[in-house]
Amino acid sequence: MPAPQTDATPAQPAGRPLPPETLRGSYRPITEVGTPVLYRRCAKVTEFGQELAQLIDDMFFTMHVAQGVGLAANQIGVDLQCFVYDCPGEDGQRHIGHICNPVMDIQPPAEPAAGKEGCLSVPGAGLHELPRAARTVVRGQDKDGNAITLEGQGLLARCFQHETDHLNGTLYIDHLTPAQSSRALQEMAANRQAVSAQREARARTLRD
């Protein structure tokens, strides 16, 4: 999921350090809308070890290359129930982490909160209005197989919902009106090549 203001806004303010996971990772191209792995429920994570840890590091690096606040495994073509995030919460604090096999609980109040949303797999599209639950709890496992619980409000709750949707085969444009979805795809067609070039350049910069 892109950062909240525009697709060009970094996940963290300038001067804030990248998390150590990012510095251990490598860039993997992001799958785009239309790729089959984005449209099916991902396989459950059953193997916890170095391969999974490296995947998570690569996801962090790729998320920061794309200037996002969240990224799901199938967005880099990996059919596994795992997502990473580096996202501000309603408390203004920076929240960084990952979760495998997430199960989402929507918390009261159940009324959806207004907000705009985009997707790193729809490169170049602007942000579009999409109501989401204001509070969420996500239960799952960490990279070592330990049970964890994540709580989110505001943008962090939106991020958790967006990434969990990805792992269940749903993109944000599937929640939009037909007119909104069509406009997002038109924006992607016009801008995706420029976004791809920016990501490649940023990957080199972060690695340096």
The one-letter amino acid code at 59 reads: M
- Give me 208's structure tokens: 């340096």
Element (H, E) at 200: helix 178-207
d(CA 27, CA 46): 24
47 is catalytic: no
Q: In whole angstroms, how large is the CA radius of gyration of the chain?
A: 16
3-state secondary structure of 24: helix
Asked whether the CA dihedral 167, 170, 175, 181 is positive or negative, the reply is positive
d(CA 34, CA 29): 15
Instruction: For residue 109, say if its preceding peptide bond is cis, omega within 30 degrees of 0.
Output: yes
Half-sphere exposure of 142 (CA within 13 A, CB side): 8
Out of 117, 163, 187, 200, pick the active-site residue.
163
Catalytic center residues = 163
